[in-house]
């Protein structure tokens, strides 16, 4: 079954699913849209691994993609391979345009992101935001592993929203989960995960932009740690400088 994304009212949908289980949220995605139109994004962090395991257990091979920035840790590629081997699926990899990367090197060098916030955002745009738009061109639903408890920027997110940049329904099935829930699920189900999590990395991004965090630090303190702005995001979940959580300008029907 496939539905049009112009036929859903997000306010009604979020009210109906505010306390819904993760499985019920995922069921809605695949009941309203065809499997080819639903895509899970993962950077192979803990949350993405939980969702991948849940989707595979539903009995159908999900469409899964990752943004290969070209600056990832080897452990990220290791867990990517482990997931393909264990679940018997192909994970789509989207890379930045080589011409864009050459331009970054020509106008800032390989470590331009340390020089200014503007440069760092340029790098994130080339390596993540532009590839994301390509990845979602053939999708109507984008499933993400965002959790409200990850940082203050994400506290106001809803389970369902509309991503204007990519023109897709954005779904956060783990929105109300806490970190302990994520790791309890991983351990109980033997889910593959990035081994850098065992070395003090709560979240894992590009190697030059991620470091371990100290016990008292915020879980995302290891991302772009040289910046002082507490709104640090890569741009995938940002619109006009704010975390995307606006109502969709469309009228969905549950």
Residue numbers annotated as active site = 234
Render 165-221 in DSSP notation, one character per residue: TTTEEEE-TTTT--HHHHHHHHHHHT----GGGGGT-SS--BGGGB----TTS-TTT
Do 173 and 25 contact (CB within 8 A), yes or no?
yes
Cβ neighbors of 105 (< 8 A, separation 6 or more) are none
Exposure on the CB side of residue 96, measured as CA atoms within 13 A: 19
Exposure on the CB side of residue 241, measured as CA atoms within 13 A: 4
> Cβ-count burial of 105 within 10 angstroms (0-12 exposed, 13-18 middle, 19+ buried)?
exposed
Q: Is 148 helix (H, G, I), strand (E, B) or coil?
A: helix
Long-range contact pairs involving 45-48 (C-beta distance under 8 Å, separation at least 24):
45/145, 45/194, 45/203, 45/204, 46/145, 46/179, 46/182, 46/183, 46/186, 46/193, 46/194, 46/197, 47/145, 47/146, 47/147, 47/174, 47/177, 47/182, 48/145
Element (H, E) at 15: helix 10-17
């Amino acid at each position: 079954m496939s539905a049009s994304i112009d036929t859903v009212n997000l306010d009604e949908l979020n009210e109906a699913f505010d306390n819904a289980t993760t499985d019920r949220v995922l069921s809605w995605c695949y009941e309203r849209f065809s499997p080819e139109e639903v895509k899970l994004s993962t950077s192979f962090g803990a949350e993405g691994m939980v969702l991948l395991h849940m989707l595979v257990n539903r009995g159908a091979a999900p469409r899964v993609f990752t943004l290969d920035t070209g600056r990832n840790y080897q452990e990220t590629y290791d867990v990517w391979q482990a997931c393909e081997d264990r679940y018997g699926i192909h994970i789509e990899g989207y890379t930045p345009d080589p011409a864009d990367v050459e331009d970054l090197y020509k106008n800032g060098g390989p470590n331009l992101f340390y020089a200014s916030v503007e440069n760092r955002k340029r790098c994130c745009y080339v390596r993540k935001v532009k590839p994301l738009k390509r990845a979602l061109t053939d999708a109507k639903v984008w499933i993400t592993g965002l959790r409200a408890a990850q940082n203050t920027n994400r506290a106001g997110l809803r389970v369902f929203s509309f991503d204007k940049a990519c023109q897709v329904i954005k779904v956060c099935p783990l929105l109300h989960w806490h970190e302990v829930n994520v790791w309890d699920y991983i351990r109980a189900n033997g889910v593959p995960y990035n081994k850098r999590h065992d070395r003090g990395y709560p979240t894992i991004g590009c190697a030059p932009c991620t470091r371990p965090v100290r016990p008292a630090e915020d879980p995302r303190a290891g991302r772009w740690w040289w910046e002082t702005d507490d709104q640090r995001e890569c741009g995938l979940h940002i619109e006009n400088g704010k975390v995307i959580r606006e109502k969709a300008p469309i009228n969905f029907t549950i």
